[in-house]
């Protein structure tokens, strides 16, 4: 089986590089295990593989950061994540500014900007204040609210998989989810390498699908990026 999904030709109205997202309603994001990080706890730039439902590589994502930010700020660090297609062309850029993080102070809220292609903003993810549960607003390029993402109590669940539900603005309908998937005892205990699944409607705007990929990265950093 071909391990790489072939990018689709250009589609009118679709940002270049996102054409393939029109054909999928789920993605698997696998963080690559860094041997040095696993053995000695030295934080390295995160790297992810984005795959389709049959395991083909769709995108490859790599964090751009400096050593000082990684070691001193840990999961609170700002980052730029470059998402590349199978030809090495950057199609999505995800940027998170440096902000404090606290459940108890509404001034310490996380956010990120998603561009596709680089330089063309397609959406934002904004954290909503809540003392116990993770809540986010998905905005389009005009800063208009489009969807919400709700997580479990303090981003934690007693179940093997942790689900962050994607809901409509009126919170009546659940249209998808971002799931942190159990990767096995040893991997969970000795690395911060995680697997995520994203489910969304097939006809969801590809710009919002790109924002969901960015949301997955932010959720990873906020709730599952720990020094073990």
Q: Which fold has domain 19-224?
A: Porin (2.40.160)
pLDDT per position as a tens digit, 153-210 = 755 555 567 899 999 999 999 999 999 986 544 444 444 457 899 999 999 999 999 9
Query: Do 220 and 36 contact (CB within 8 A), yes or no?
Result: no
Q: Determine if residue 202 is left, alpha or beta; phi over 0 gives left, psi from -120 to 50 gives alpha, anything else beta.
A: alpha
Q: Which element (helix H / strand E) includes 37? A: helix 35-40
CA distance 19 to 13: 10
Phi, psi (rounded to 5 degrees) for 171: 65, 20
Give me the pLDDT at residue 187, please. Answer: 46
Per-domain residue ranges of the chain? 19-224
Angle at 72 between CA 70 and CA 75, to 5 degrees: 55
* Predicted structure pTM score: 0.84
Query: Do 124 and 115 contact (CB within 8 A), yes or no?
Result: no
């Amino acid at each position: 089986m071909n391990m790489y999904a072939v990018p689709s030709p250009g589609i009118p109205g679709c940002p270049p590089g996102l054409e393939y997202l029109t054909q999928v309603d789920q993605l698997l994001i696998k963080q690559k295990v860094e041997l040095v990080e696993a053995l000695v706890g030295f934080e390295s730039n995160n790297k992810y593989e984005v795959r389709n439902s049959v395991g083909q590589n769709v995108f490859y994502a790599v964090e751009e950061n400096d050593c000082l930010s990684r070691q001193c700020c840990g999961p609170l660090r700002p980052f730029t994540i470059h998402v590349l297609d199978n030809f090495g062309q950057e199609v999505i850029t995800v940027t998170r500014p440096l902000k404090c993080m606290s459940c108890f102070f509404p001034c310490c809220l996380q956010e990120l900007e998603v561009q596709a292609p680089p330089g063309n903003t397609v959406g934002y993810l904004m954290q909503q204040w809540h003392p116990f549960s993770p809540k986010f607003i998905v905005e389009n390029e005009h800063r208009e609210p489009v969807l919400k993402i709700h997580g479990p109590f303090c981003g934690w669940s007693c179940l093997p998989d942790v689900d962050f539900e994607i809901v409509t603005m009126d919170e009546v309908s659940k249209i998808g989810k971002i799931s942190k998937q159990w990767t096995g005892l040893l991997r969970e205990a000795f690395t911060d390498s995680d697997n995520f699944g994203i489910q969304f409607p097939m006809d969801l705007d590809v710009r919002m699908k790109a924002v969901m990929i960015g949301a997955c990265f932010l959720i990873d950093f906020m709730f599952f990026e720990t020094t073990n």
